Amino acid sequence: MVEAEEEYTDQMEVLVSCFLRPFKMAASSKKPLCSHEDVNSIFLNSETILFLHQIFLKGLTSRMENWPTLVLGDLFDMLLPMLSIYQEYVRNHHYSLQVLTECKQSSPSFAALLTRLENKSTCRGRSLETFLTYPMSQIPRYIITLHEVLAHTPHDHVERKSLENARQQLEDLSRQMHDE
């Protein structure tokens, strides 16, 4: 679980530092390659999602130090109220990709910068579209993880109710996101 969260946080760090920040700077230049509105549409909530998962990862890592007594329920209790940002991200995702395509087609300078950024070693051959898609699978990944954790959690365990509640809330959120 920690490794998966580290990987996801790393992916979001690449999205924010290797793509979002350079495009924000480009939008602020004297000859902007795109508008701030375009950048906000493409990267909606990416920085907030990264920050949220950096905090969650720190909590997970500190809990692993107390292994085998692993308490996760309160971490999910902290995370759950903030996951509504994923609803907005998922709702915006198709539009985000549309804006990205329009920017690439209408601005050769934008497309050239994007190619330069995608060719950086930190991207490991992955496109911006790939990085923009990673948050789409995070909620389902948590649901699967909680199913696995619950399968190994005794019914009388102090964490059981909290973990079941977290799984249920994540399943509800996932349904809401896909119904919209």
Rg (CA), the chain: 18
Would you tell me the crossing angle of helices 138-151 and 2-14 to the nearest 10 degrees?
170
Of the candidates 179, 167, 180, the one whose C-alpha atom is nearest the C-alpha of residue 140 is 167
d(CA 45, CA 5): 18
pLDDT attached to residue 69: 62
Q: How many CB atoms lie within 10 A of CB 156?
A: 6
pLDDT attached to residue 68: 62
pLDDT attached to residue 67: 65
Fold (topology level) of 2-179 = Dbl Homology Domain; Chain A (1.20.900)
Residues 33 and 22 sit within 8 Å (Cβ to Cβ): no
Provide the token pair at 145.
Answer: 């993880």
Residues 46 and 18 sit within 8 Å (Cβ to Cβ): no
Phi-psi map region of 124: left, alpha, beta (phi>0 left; psi -120 to 50 alpha) = left
pLDDT attached to residue 5: 94
Provide the token pair at 47.
Answer: 């920085």
Helices (H) and strands (E) in the chain, counts: 10, 0
- CA 170, 20, 54, 94: dihedral to nearest 10 degrees? 10
Instruction: List all residues 6 or more positions away from 73 whose beta carbon is below 8 Å from its beta carbon.
Output: 159, 161, 162, 163, 165, 166
Low-confidence ranges of the chain (pLDDT < 70): 67-70, 180
pLDDT attached to residue 21: 97
Of the candidates 158, 13, 139, 3, the one whose C-alpha atom is nearest the C-alpha of residue 73 is 158
Residues 42 and 100 sit within 8 Å (Cβ to Cβ): yes
Peptide bond preceding 68 in cis form (omega within 30 of 0): yes
pLDDT attached to residue 77: 83
Domain ranges of the chain: 2-179
Provide the token pair at 18.
Answer: 């290797």
